[in-house]
Amino acid sequence: MVFSDSDTRVEVLKNAVSGRLIHHPERSFALEVTLDLVKGAHFFCHKPPMHFHVQEEYIESIQGRLALEIDGREVVLTPGDGPYSIKPYKDHRSYPLSLDRQEYDNTLVKFLLSGEKTDSVFELSPVFFENWYRYQDDVVVNGAKIDLIQLFSTFDACGTYISLPWWVPFGQTVSRTMGLVVGRWVGGLLGYQPFHRRWTTDWALACQKMETSFFQRRFADRSKKLD
């Protein structure tokens, strides 16, 4: 990995969550995330939604204890364990362990997320994390209304989908279809774009992704001002 003073940084949820996008020569993206358990006590009491990706993802604890819920069980990641591989189509979510489950009164949890390189345009990438984190901030901190079409649009554009309850037949196929039809096709026709200029550092990459879809290419204006 290559660290630089010019690395893109994202701070959300009143600085309880900060991310640093790092160049990784062998991965499609690498994101160093720091969670402040004191500042984020109100936010971290709720677990994020279960989801799955169509590419392999890696998660590694750098500081503190991080939980990964996968295959119906909780895996606790600690520094020194190395990267944990999350295979494609595995339903999962990650979250920090609470202060009472941390060691040595640690108040910070830091971890590294990265993803395999693929030939797919719709893969996990820095533009997804920038837009997803800032969308959460807009909802949680600024009080914006949760919009499922926007959620499906952003997730689908990076090969990510919400896990449906176990009792839904062919749940992952249904979820991917919802992402494609609702997020990409219907959303595009209704004016929903997966990435927003005001939330995106690498706008050229966002445009490159949107240009591949007939329903989203009209949003890929490389000269566009902040929306």
- Other Cβ atoms within 10 Å of 185 Cβ, number: 17
**21-48: pLDDT as tens digits:** 998 888 989 999 999 999 999 999 889 9
pTM to 2 decimal places: 0.93
Per domain, the residue ranges of the chain are: 9-116, 126-219
Q: Give the Cα-Cα-Cα angle 98, 99, 103 (nearest 5 degrees).
A: 110
**164-206: pLDDT as tens digits:** 999 999 999 999 999 999 999 999 999 999 999 999 999 999 9
140's tokens: 């949680």
* Residue 8 · residue 201 · CB < 8 Å: yes
* Residue 66 · residue 59 · CB < 8 Å: yes
Question: Which contacts of 187-190 are long-range, i.e. CB under 8 A and separated by 24 or more positions?
Answer: 187/149, 187/150, 187/152, 187/153, 187/215, 188/153, 188/213, 188/214, 188/215, 188/216, 188/219, 189/215, 190/149
Residue 112 reports pLDDT greater than 90: yes
Fold of 9-116: Jelly Rolls (2.60.120)
